[in-house]
Amino acid sequence: MRGKPIVAAVSGVKNSGKTTLMEKLIQELSRRGLQVAAIKHDGHDFTPDVPGTDSWRFGQAGACGYAIYSPCRFQLVRQTQGVCERDFFDAFPGADVILLEGFKDSPYPKIEVVRSGNSAAPVCPPATLLAVATDLPLTLPGIPTVGLDDIPAMADLILSLC
């Protein structure tokens, strides 16, 4: 499956289990032979490197950017403004699927996590929902609901986007 990657989001309120679901979806899609990339949005700023490392020290010294790499991977940090998720799609040329974590107000198709004790109903625009992954007895007109552990069904829904 090559060509333009499928882009889908895993959304929900804070602490709903988005990261756990992303991990499971990445494992399932990878098991099916697909190359999966993941992009997470952090609404706050974050430290992109481990404090005390050489590359972190470059940033602390005022470098406008720095990179660290090995034969197997790299990390590139650049100080900039106005970054959005689309800026990273081309960074994963071999990806069959790009999963976004968060992005609840975005136009991307998404699976929203609605977990008892954390949320009671979806918060994403209904027109963007592929499904709601939930442990609640929700019935939503025109929106499939799947169990939180039905990872194969969620993977199938994502793959139906191609």
Q: What is the pLDDT of residues 93-147, one digit of tens each?
A: 999 999 999 999 999 999 999 999 999 999 999 999 999 999 999 999 999 999 9
Dihedral in degrees, nearest 10, Cα atoms 39, 152, 133, 14: -30
Provide mean pLDDT across the span 11-25: 96
Average pLDDT, whole number, for the chain? 92
d(C-alpha 124, C-alpha 36), whole Å? 23
SS3 134: strand
- CA-wise closest residue to 128 among 3, 7, 4, 2: 7
Predicted local confidence at residue 107, as pLDDT: 96
- Cβ contacts of residue 132 below 8 Å, gap of 6+? 111, 112, 113, 114, 122, 138, 140, 143, 144, 145, 146
d(C-alpha 151, C-alpha 158), whole Å? 11
Q: How confident is the model at residue 1 (pLDDT cuts 50, 70, 90)?
A: low
Give Cα 53 to chain centroid, integer Å: 27
Q: What are the structure tokens assigned to 27, written together?
A: 């494992």
93: amino acid identity, one letter? P
Q: Check pLDDT > 80 for residue 48.
A: no
Provide mean pLDDT across the span 42-70: 84
Q: How confident is the model at residue 67 (pLDDT cuts 50, 70, 90)?
A: confident
Q: Check pLDDT > 80 for residue 47.
A: no
pTM for the predicted model, two decimal places: 0.89
Instruction: Give percent of the chain with pLDDT exceeding 90.
Output: 67
Helices H, strands E: what count in the chain?
Answer: 4, 8
Q: What is the pLDDT of residues 68-94, one digit of tens each?
A: 889 998 888 888 888 889 888 988 999
More confident residue, 29 or 50: 29
Q: Which domains does the chain have, with CATH numbers?
A: 1-41+99-162 (3.40.50.300)
